[in-house]
Structure 1
Amino acid sequence: MKRFLTFIFFVSLGALHAQEWQDSYASALDRANTADKPIVLVFSGSDWCAPCIRLKKSILDTEEFKTYASKNYVLYNADFPRKKQNQLPEEKSGVNKMLAEKYNPKGYFPLVVVLDKNGSVLGETGFNPRLTPEKYISLLNKFIK
């Protein structure tokens, strides 16, 4: 029982330090204003876009990015899945479409847009397989400075 409780404690502790993707764009804006942090808005096709999947695996899901992002960014994923079983709720899908019209009118995937706390574009990039998580963070930070 003691081992189980210790395991639960460390899993919970890890969850507290992990990056936190916001459930809605409204909550991302609110959090960005409260914490005075930029928003990293990721346009992805999670179940069909190979470069999107590679960006997630090689950058966004790394411990280095997660740790840095949790302290320095507010994260929101505007996902556009195609498979029926992965479809988003209608409201979230509508918000993502509105965000795409405003920030990704050409429909590039993946597209990573860095916004200030008011939703103004600071810069944008995509996926470059040659970049390490450290270099990707550096690229995002160049837009902020």
Structure 2
Amino acid sequence: MKKIVAIVFLVMGSMAVQAQELAWETSMEKAVQVSMKTKKPLLLFFTGSDWCGWCIRLQKEVLKTQEFATWAKENVVLVELDFPRRSPQQPEIQKQNNELQQLFQVAGYPTVWFSNPTKKDGKINLDKLGSTGYVAGGPSKWLEAANQILSVKQ
């Protein structure tokens, strides 16, 4: 019995570690480079990490699950655009996030936009594919909505 319990804890622990290994970029410049190199769209997660209850719930129910981690590694470049109230933030990141909030007309949190960066005349453009937010039903329902957005525009 002790062996079974130990095995369950090891498996669950490794799944949690794998889900936490996702690389969330905070620099759009770096994320765009990765996106263009890998030909994967950007997943832009507009969040209030230290105050937004729905953002925290989306993180817990979807973004920190193994199912999401597996999907994300294959399909998108992850970008976290945070708007904290209590946590300090670098001025250049704050400026970048505010500009992107205006560009994507984000009015509430959480908002997740999918975008393909393209280069034209030496400038980077962000082609909007679609957006979503919190979707009830866990990772499978959320990923269903995300896949629908990605399949229409790619």
Give the alignment's TM-score, normalised by structure 2: 0.77
Q: 17-26 or 28-37, which moves further after superposition?
A: 17-26
Partner SS for 1:98: helix
Question: Which contiguous aligned blocks of 4+ residues in structure 1 show a shift greater than 2 angstroms?
Answer: none
Distance 1:82 1:104 in 2: 20
CA RMSD across the alignment: 1.9
Q: Which has the higher contact order (CA 8 A, sep 6+)?
A: 1
Q: Deviations over 1:20-43 (max 9, x none)?
A: 111301111111100000110010
Q: Does the alignment pair 1:64 with 2:71?
A: no
Can you give the 5+ residue segments of structure 2 that lack an aligned partner in the other structure? 1-13, 119-125
Please tell me the residue identity of whatever aligns with 1:138.
E
Q: Does the alignment pair 1:134 with 2:140?
A: yes
Please tell me the residue identity of whatever aligns with 1:99.
L
Between structures 1 and 2, the one with greater strand share: 2
8 Å contact from structure 1 (residues 41, 113) kept in 2: yes
Q: Does the alignment pair 1:32 with 2:35?
A: yes
Can you give the 5+ residue segments of structure 1 that lack an aligned partner in the other structure? 1-10
Deviation at 1:61, TM superposition (A): 0.6
**Percent of residue pairs identical:** 33
- Report the count of equivalent residues: 129
Please tell me the residue identity of whatever aligns with 1:140.
A
